[in-house]
Structure 1
């Protein structure tokens, strides 16, 4: 069971205690794993997976799920997720109970394994959305803020980044889709394996983690005055009807823009250009039956 190496998250620690109590009652042996840092935790998780375990359980938010995916993707070991973070968007997309650690804990022992697609950038496995442009800047800003806590950090980060906003020139190449290449000025580009990011924003409403493809959402050339009229619509998916929003589908997407970086699952991925690929049935996840 992976727990946050940074510590200090009381909700995650309480959820971990709930999982351990459930596993003990069910007669399972469980080993909490937390290294000194993220790299150390991942190394320990990979060692346990290689040695042979029945399940790798992850207690935390999307960042911890991202860490767990690096250890189990491409193996026969299923992933169980106990949401205990700020966004929990991977769990949201797959119907894993949020706000109920006991219900999520029962999936460790009684969940139904299902093969789920992932996205991949280089050697990095991604469960939710690869974001670049405004949304990546917001995530980067929010990760560096120490106040306020919770979802309010993202609200403050949005307000700060809006004051610095400008559309950026992107080149987007799409393999396996109807449109092979797009060049345009964009404020936001998101490539989704699943629909949600940012704590419930349906940025890629058509993303389906079982269809072997990725969904791409592009907000074209919206500046600081226009973008705030689009952002609230991300929560219900109605932004797709906005004239500044374009959508595409592809199995492989190349994103290029000078001086732009990408985030995925709330974690820094790297500077553009990057290639995002769909990997069908890359991981087994224990889900409600």
Structure 2
């Protein structure tokens, strides 16, 4: 391989990367329809002072709201968040937001969707996964308030599990139990993957989680079932991944079945190297509706909160249910929408083959 051919390969790779980034930006921007949003007359922001280790106080959100003409409503001990949201709407709120974690966002977003008023996400929680997938800057808590005063509007989906709204995901099996552990807030699904082998000992009983796969096949168990409000781009469970868009009108469904400890080791290895889709017990598809059956009550982790439902547990998409306001300065594209696997082994190999005068399919024939 002489230097001229090396140069050609590098140029081709660089051009591939550049054009892919441009195309992806254009696709991400055109995939979501936004429009200018007039400033609301009576905006209201509910806030949980305890979320995110006290971000409401740390960023002075009450004073920042006052300067912008936004009514600030802190959640006090013993108060019900849903009732506060309903009361704000009853007082005439024509735009409502929440400064808190994703579980709180789900509650207030449901109220906003039901009344048809715009909703604002202020990332004042711990992880703020919803804000991440909406393309908001999670570090700019105060800047998120600009959605009220200088924002654009678009429609996004919500999802439900047995009638309860969620904005990110709901899980059954191992993860639903991990939600209740102290390590959950810091590690989330990584904790589930690390804990998996402990649930596969000789005395372990397979979870009674019955469901139908995308091809109509009936399954009687799974160690993990993850249903998301829009499909995730997943290479590994650690960090969960992000959604390219949240207006497809579809749920993302992931099921993981591990039969023994040796498979658990294999799965852990694949997920650590970003190759979980190669695991034979991994299934991922999209659906408008998904149902899980069982012989008894099921623990479900809903946007990070532990809930118990009587079966069947039914998930459903709510296409375009929420009017979302975001700041005009927000990127508006999730990390999944910005990321491309530009230098995959197959792509580089094909480029090298072409530069060597061989067919990219390995036949040795020149193209």
- Residue 125 (structure 1) aligned with residue 165 (structure 2): yes
- 2:228, 2:253 within 8 Å by CA — same for their partners in 1? yes
Alignment equivalent of 1:189, drawn from 218, 225, 233? 225
- How far did residue 214 of structure 1 move? 0.7
Relative to its length, the structure with more strand (as a share) is 1
Counterparts of 2:227 and 2:103, CA distance in 1 = 17
Task: Indicate how the Cα distance of structure 1 residues 160 and 186 shifts in structure 2: closer, same or farther if over 3 A, else same.
Answer: closer
The alignment partner of 1:132 has SS state of strand
Partner in structure 1 of residue 257 of structure 2: 220
Q: Following superposition of structure 1 onto structure 2, how do residues 169-188 of structure 1 map, counting pairs within 5 Å?
A: 169-173=208-212, 178-180=214-216, 182-188=218-224
Partner in structure 1 of residue 318 of structure 2: 279
Structure 2 length normalisation: TM-score? 0.65
Partner in structure 1 of residue 153 of structure 2: 113
- 2:103, 2:303 within 8 Å by CA — same for their partners in 1? yes
Structure 1 gaps of 5+ residues are: none
Partner in structure 1 of residue 121 of structure 2: 81
Alignment equivalent of 2:78, drawn from 37, 42, 46? 37
Task: Indicate how the Cα distance of structure 1 residues 223 and 43 shifts in structure 2: closer, same or farther if over 3 A, else same.
Answer: farther
Partner in structure 1 of residue 103 of structure 2: 63
- How far did residue 255 of structure 1 move? 0.9
The alignment partner of 1:73 has SS state of helix
- How far did residue 254 of structure 1 move? 0.8
- How far did residue 223 of structure 1 move? 4.6
Partner in structure 1 of residue 361 of structure 2: none
Counterparts of 1:255 and 1:207, CA distance in 2 = 26
Counterparts of 2:303 and 2:217, CA distance in 1 = 25
- 2:133, 2:243 within 8 Å by CA — same for their partners in 1? no
Alignment equivalent of 1:257, drawn from 265, 274, 294? 294
- How far did residue 97 of structure 1 move? 1.4
- How far did residue 74 of structure 1 move? 2.3
Counterparts of 1:256 and 1:149, CA distance in 2 = 26
Deviation string for 1:196-246 (max 9, x for gaps)?
Answer: 8998312xx667421111110011125555446546866997422322211
Which has the larger Rg?
2
Partner in structure 2 of residue 247 of structure 1: 284
Q: Bigger CA drift: 163-172 or 104-113?
A: 163-172
Structure 2 gaps of 5+ residues are: 1-44, 329-367
Deviation string for 1:66-112 (max 9, x for gaps)?
Answer: 22123212222221111122221111111121022122222232221
Q: Bigger CA drift: 257-266 or 113-122?
A: 257-266
The alignment partner of 2:55 has SS state of helix
- How far did residue 277 of structure 1 move? 0.7
Q: Bigger CA drift: 245-254 or 258-267?
A: 258-267
Alignment equivalent of 1:25, drawn from 67, 75, 83? 67
Task: Indicate how the Cα distance of structure 1 residues 231 and 262 shifts in structure 2: closer, same or farther if over 3 A, else same.
Answer: farther
Structure 1 length normalisation: TM-score? 0.80
Question: What's the RMSD between the two structures over aligned residues?
Answer: 3.2
Q: What is the aligned residue count?
A: 275
